[in-house]
């Protein structure tokens, strides 16, 4: 059980906030006008820019300088075990396609795990001027264009047919085709659907009551590590297939009352496979 008075928690939180702020400023202020694709990953549309790589380096440098014994799992290659029991799970730029096109929905996502349990999550969304954070057991909070910190809470659940639910689509065409089929069956059961382009922001929007739910197949640990903790600390339920934790197969988040029917429909529609 995590002790919320443990002084390590605010130390890790402050470090994650500092690294996320600095990476966010680098990404926002340093975006070249002629930003180009540096490499591709799972498919030709799964892109990496020089800025993803620079942001991950900045984050790992900032954290390692203070805590040299911690481990890392970063999307752009950071991978080390560490010896302290703390591991940082980092998506330096979540929403790269939006960033490439100059759309504002992108974020920096940094989580800390202790012995495999997520204890700190920070998601910075610089173009919104907002940053979301949570410590296990301490609630979810946001800073922005207002004084101090604002506590995040999910919105009261509407009936599913009045729920606004976000999702995302994979970079691999075959996976996307099946995801489109799942969305086709789900849309008539909902108020509407959104495709924001940053999984971390989607999860924080559930936390902030800006969405009733969110689901996606094919996510990696760095996409959800921070946002999942923030959503749960704001009162959301999160999971994967029924009875399972969020995984690459499926991530579902929602306010209680929306989460359960959403997860049930996704199971019926086979949202976790082709």
Neighbours of 125 (CB within 10 A): 26
Site for ligand IPD, residues 92 to 121, rule: CB under 6 A: 94-96
Task: Assess 91 for contact with ligand IPD (CB under 6 A).
Answer: yes
Rounded Cα distance between 90 and 236, Å, is: 22
Q: Does 197 bind ligand IPD (CB under 6 A)?
A: yes
Query: Which of ligand IPD, Ca ion, none binds 219 (CB below 5-8 Å, type-dependent)?
Result: ligand IPD
Q: Output the smallest distance, CB 227 to Ca ion, in A.
A: 10
Select 95 or 254, whichever has its Cβ closest to ligand IPD. 95
Residue 213 contacts which entry, ligand IPD, Ca ion, none (Cβ below 5-8 A, type-dependent): none
Alpha helices in the chain (DSSP H): 8-29, 50-66, 96-101, 173-186, 199-207, 221-233, 259-268
Longest Cα separation, the chain: 51
Sequence length of the chain is 274
Asked if residue 75 binds Ca ion (CB under 5 A), the reply is yes
Cβ 1 to ligand IPD shortest distance, Å: 31
| 228 touching ligand IPD, by CB under 6 A | no
What is the closest distance, in whole angstroms, from the C-beta atom of residue 224 to ligand IPD in the complex?
9
**Segment 148 to 177, residues that bind ligand IPD, using CB under 6 A:** 168-170
Does position 94 interact with Ca ion (CB under 5 A)? The reply is yes
**Cα–Cα distance measured from residue 227 to residue 142, given in angstroms and rounded to the nearest whole number:** 12
- Alpha-carbon distance of 234 to 36, in angstroms, equals 37
Q: How many residues bind ligand IPD (CB under 6 A)?
A: 14
Q: What is the 3-class SS of 189-253, one letter each residue?
A: HCCEEECCCCHHHHHHHHHCCCCCEEEECCCCHHHHHHHHHHHHHCCCEEECCCCCCCCCCCEEE
Question: Using CB atoms within 10 A of its CB, is residue 262 exposed (0-12), middle (13-18) or buried (19+)?
Answer: buried
Nearest residue to ligand IPD on Cβ basis: 168
Distance of CA 225 to the CA centre of its chain: 6
To Ca ion, the closest distance from the beta carbon of 48 in angstroms equals: 8
Of residues 218 through 237, those in contact with Ca ion by CB under 5 A are: 223
Q: Which stretch binds ligand IPD (CB under 6 A): 2-10, 133-141, 197-205, 249-257?
A: 197-205
Footprint on this chain of ligand IPD (rule: CB under 6 A): 91, 94-96, 168-170, 197-199, 216, 218-219, 223
């Amino acid at each position: 059980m995590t002790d919320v008075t443990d002084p390590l928690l605010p130390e890790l939180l402050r470090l994650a906030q500092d690294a996320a702020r600095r990476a966010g400023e680098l990404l926002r202020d340093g975006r070249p006008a002629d930003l180009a694709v540096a490499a591709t990953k799972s498919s030709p549309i799964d892109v990496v820019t020089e800025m993803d790589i620079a942001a991950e380096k900045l984050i790992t440098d900032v954290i390692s300088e203070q805590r040299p014994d911690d481990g890392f799992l970063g999307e752009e290659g950071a991978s080390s075990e560490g010896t302290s029991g703390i591991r940082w799970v980092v998506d330096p730029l979540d929403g790269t396609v939006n960033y490439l096109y100059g759309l504002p929905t992108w974020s920096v996502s940094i989580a800390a795990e202790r012995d495999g349990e997520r204890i700190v999550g920070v998601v910075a969304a610089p173009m919104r001027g907002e940053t979301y954070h949570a410590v296990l057991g301490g609630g979810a909070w946001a800073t922005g264009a207002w004084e101090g910190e604002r506590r995040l809470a999910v919105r009261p659940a509407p009936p599913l047919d009045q729920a606004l639910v976000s999702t995302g689509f994979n970079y691999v065409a075959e996976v996307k085709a099946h995801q489109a089929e799942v969305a086709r069956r789900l849309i008539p059961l909902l108020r509407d659907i959104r495709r924001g382009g940053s999984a971390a922001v989607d999860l924080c929007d559930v936390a902030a009551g800006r969405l009733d739910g969110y689901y996606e197949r094919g996510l990696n640990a760095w996409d959800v590590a921070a946002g999942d903790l923030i959503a749960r600390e704001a009162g959301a339920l999160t999971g994967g297939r029924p009875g399972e934790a969020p995984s690459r197969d499926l991530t579902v988040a929602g306010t209680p009352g929306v989460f359960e029917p959403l997860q049930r429909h996704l199971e019926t529609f086979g949202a976790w496979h082709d």
